[in-house]
Amino acid sequence: MEQTNKEKLKSKKNFGKNLSKNKKELQNLIKEKIKHGELKYMSQIEILEGMPSYKSIKKIWTKKELEDIFGIKIRISSYSDSEIIEAYTRVKAMYGNVTSKLMKQETGIGVDSIRIRFGSWNKFLIFLGEKPKRELNKVTDTNEEIINFYRNVSMKVGKIIYGASFTDLKKYGFPYSKSVLGIRFTNMNNLRELAGFQKRCERNTKYTKQYLGNILFEYYKIYGRRLTQTEIMKDENLPNPTAFFNYFQTTEIRKIWDEVLELHKIE
pLDDT score for 19:
47
Spatial distance between the Cα atoms of 214 and 220, rounded to a whole number of angstroms: 10
CA-to-CA distance for 197 and 12, rounded, in angstroms? 50
Tens of pLDDT, residues 217-254 = 888 888 889 999 888 888 877 888 888 887 888 888 89
Number of Cβ atoms within 10 Å of the Cβ of 196: 12
- Per-residue b or e along 155-166, where b marks 16 or more CB atoms closer than 10 Å to that residue's CB: eebeeeebbbee
C-alpha span between 41 and 74 (Å, rounded): 7
Rounded CA-CA distance 240/235 in Å is: 9
Measured CA to CA, the distance from residue 75 to residue 78 in angstroms comes to 9
> What string of DSSP letters covers 126-165?
HHTT-----------S-HHHHHHHHHHHHHHTT-TTT---
Please choose, from the candidates 63, 44, 50, 52, the residue with its C-alpha nearest in 3D space to the C-alpha of residue 20.
52
Do residues 153 and 172 touch, judged by C-beta distance below 8 A?
yes
Q: CA 60, CA 49: separation in Å to the nearest integer?
A: 19
pTM across the whole model: 0.34
Q: At what angle do helices 253-263 and 209-223 cross, to 10 degrees?
A: 90
**Tens digit of pLDDT for each residue in 206-218?**
678 888 888 898 8
Closest C-alpha to 107, from 78, 66, 73:
73
Query: How would DSSP label each residue in 214-244?
Result: HHHHHHHHHHSSPPPHHHHHH-TTS--HHHH
Are 178 and 166 in contact by the 8 Å Cβ rule? The answer is yes
Residues of the chain with pLDDT under 70: 1-22, 41, 43-44, 46-47, 73-78, 132-138, 201-206, 266-267
pLDDT value of position 196: 92
